[in-house]
Structure 1
Amino acid sequence: MPGATANDVRIHLDYDDGRVEYEGTIYYNGTEYEFTIDAYSGVIREWDVESHQGWW
């Protein structure tokens, strides 16, 4: 995410249905991005964006 810093990102290793993956969240500029990345291939499996403008 251009402009986001390490302080904006939360990520952890997880196991789902026998697959190793990274799950994470980026909070940046009033928007929340949630993602899942396959730990072996690097393929982004899920990407969700939710605006929170005015919530913070």
Structure 2
Amino acid sequence: MEARSLELSDPDRDALTVFRDDTGIWMTCTSGDHEVTVGPLALEPLTRWFAATPPQ
């Protein structure tokens, strides 16, 4: 599988990167000099959660 990523940032320049590869989903949050990465996470629970969450 080809790896895919989504990068988002807020006005304070904090960032969220969501990365998908063969092992699952990885999420990295960055704020200034601090960074936290979690993963691999299973794709199915995230897909169900996004599908059940109405847009605001």
- What is the RMSD computed on CA atoms of the aligned residues? 2.3
Structure 1 outlier segments of 4+, above 3 Å: none
Query: Taking structure 1 as the reference length, what is the TM-score of the superposition?
Result: 0.53
Q: Indicate the structure with greater strand content.
A: 1
Aligned residues: 41
Unaligned runs of 5+ in 1: none
Unaligned runs of 5+ in 2: 44-56
Q: Indicate the structure with greater helix content.
A: 2
1:1-56 to 2 correspondence within 5 Å? Answer: 5=3, 8-15=4-11, 19-38=12-31, 40-41=32-33, 43-44=34-35, 46-49=36-39, 50-52=41-43
Of all paired residues, the percent bearing the same amino acid is 2
